[in-house]
Structure 1
Amino acid sequence: MSLLQVKRVNHSFNSKKLFTWRKQSNKALTNISFSIEEGTCLGLLGTSGAGKSTLGKVILGIQRPQKGQVLFQGYDIYNSDKMTQRKIRRDLQVVFQDSYSSVNPRMTAERIISEPLENYEKLTVSEQRRTVISLLERVGLSEKDLKKYPHQFSGGQLQRINIARAISLKPKLIVLDESVSSLDMVTQSLILDLLRELKDDFGLSYLFITHDIKAAFSISDRLGVLEKGELIELYDSKEKFFSSRSPVVIQMRDSILAEHPRSRSLHHG
């Protein structure tokens, strides 16, 4: 059984046309189906407006789809009893793009990372502190960062704290929603290295939502392409992605080449 199964998910948003009362249905997701196996990362690529964030919300249980199912460890996340939903919330975590808006600015790093532990674990004060220190060290920070507030960290450091919080309960799956896209290239590379290490060390699974092909390639085992709310293709390997004749994929590949002047001249020559 797959860890996550998304089955024929459809979702749309209603909007009122200007000067009329007639509602207009805007399709956000159309017949989306895929699965993620334990210990693997699915990179979900798409441009702005492709439906990536909506799909992420559907999988996290934030946005109920109008049609279809989302099964996590075999349970329907929208039609389960309270005990099962609590287990799902523990085993399914998220790291968002904006590290600053993802935390309470009035909380210290210790309090931010402690929140899930307080909700799900029965630890003594000293046990919880040791656990938080261990998590900080695991993401490349240290005990001296415990009492610091979000504004005292760089964007990359704060994203490490968000990652520490996400792994604190040893989840099965983490949704990474554009989690490195707001970082500079050097910091982005370091965070991706960290995510790969954590995946191997903890046996984590990831849904890596991004518009960045290079970032997706560096961490993903499989790749999916979302375009205008449709999952147009799933690729079991990077080689298959590169050999794809899909116009959307070709455009994505060309955008990589266009970043490098030498490649640009070779490509057009």
Structure 2
Amino acid sequence: MSLLQVKQVNLSFHSRKLFKGKDQTNKVLNDISFAIDEGTCLGLIGTSGAGKSTLGKVILGIQRPQQGQVLFQGYDIYNADKATQHKIRRDLQVVFQDSYSAVNPRMTAERIISEPLENYEKLTIGEQRRRVIELLERVGLNEKDIKKYPHQFSGGQLQRINIARAIALKPKLIVLDESVSSLDMVTQSLILQLLNELKDDFGLSYLFITHDIKAAFSISDHIAVLEKGELVEHYHSKDQFLSSKHPAVKRLRDSILAEHPRFRTITTRANMG
């Protein structure tokens, strides 16, 4: 059984017109189905407005779909009892794009990272502090950072804090929602390297939501493409993605890869394939 199963998920938003005319229904997700196995990363690629972040919210239990199921470790996350939901929240974590908005600016790094530990673990103050220091060191920071506030960190350092918080409870799956897109290229590379190391060390699974093909390629075992709320293709290798003839994939590949001169040879090769 897969760790995460998304089955025929449909989600629409309704908008009311102020004046005469019928209300409009905007379909955001249309019959979405896929699975993620333990210890693997699915890269979910799509342009802005494709529905990627909305799908992430559905999987996290934030946005209930009108139809379909989200099964995590075999449990329907929207119909589970309270005890099961509590367990799901422990094993399913998230790292968002904006590292600053994801934290309380009045909390120190210690308090930010210890939040999930306080909610789920019965640790003494000393044990909790030692665990926080271990987590800081695991993400490339150190004990001196424990009393710093968010504004005292760079964007990359603060994203490391968010990652430390996400792995604090040793979850099964982490949703990474554009988690490196706001960082410079060097910092992106370092964070992606860290995520790969953590995946191997802890046996983590990831849903890596991004518009960046290069980032997806560096971390993903499989690639799925979302366009206008539809999962149009699912690939088991990067070569399959690069050689795909699907019109939506070709548009995505051309529009994104062409922005990076060093990838234009890849684009040319893919178009010739």
TM score, norm. by length of structure 1: 0.96
**Counterparts of 2:249 and 2:3 in 1: how far apart (Å)?**
27
The DSSP-based 3-state class of the residue aligned with 2:25 is: strand
Show the 5 A alignment for 1:185-264. 185-254=185-254, 255-260=256-261, 263=264
Instruction: Mark the runs of 5 or more structure 1 residues left unpaired by the alignment.
Output: none
Matched, 1:25 2:28: no
**Counterparts of 2:162 and 2:261 in 1: how far apart (Å)?**
33
Show the 5 A alignment for 1:41-190. 41-190=41-190
The DSSP-based 3-state class of the residue aligned with 1:25 is: strand
Match of 1:38 in 2: 38
Q: CA RMSD in A?
A: 1.6
Cα offset for 1:113? 0.2
Cα offset for 1:258? 4.6
**Counterparts of 2:224 and 2:188 in 1: how far apart (Å)?**
21
Assess if the C-alpha contact under 8 Å between 1:213 and 1:252 holds in 2. no
Cα offset for 1:193? 0.3
Structure 1 consecutive aligned stretches of length 4 or more whose deviation exceeds 6 Å: none
The DSSP-based 3-state class of the residue aligned with 1:28 is: strand
Assess if the C-alpha contact under 8 Å between 2:12 and 2:29 holds in 1. yes
Cα offset for 1:261? 7.4
Assess if the C-alpha contact under 8 Å between 1:4 and 1:36 holds in 2. yes
The DSSP-based 3-state class of the residue aligned with 1:99 is: coil
1:94-153 per-residue CA deviation (whole Å, 9 max, x = no partner) reads 000000000000000000000000000000000000000000000000000000000000
**Counterparts of 1:3 and 1:55 in 2: how far apart (Å)?**
17
Identity percentage of aligned residues? 79
1:84 corresponds to which letter in structure 2?
T
**Counterparts of 2:202 and 2:217 in 1: how far apart (Å)?**
21
Cα offset for 1:191? 0.3
Assess if the C-alpha contact under 8 Å between 1:39 and 1:199 holds in 2. yes
**Counterparts of 1:263 and 1:25 in 2: how far apart (Å)?**
39
1:18-66 per-residue CA deviation (whole Å, 9 max, x = no partner) reads 5236311000000000000000000000001000011000000000000
**Counterparts of 1:125 and 1:20 in 2: how far apart (Å)?**
62
Cα offset for 1:249? 1.4
The DSSP-based 3-state class of the residue aligned with 2:31 is: strand
**Counterparts of 2:260 and 2:17 in 1: how far apart (Å)?**
39
Instruction: Mark the runs of 5 or more structure 2 residues left unpaired by the alignment.
Output: none
Match of 1:6 in 2: 6
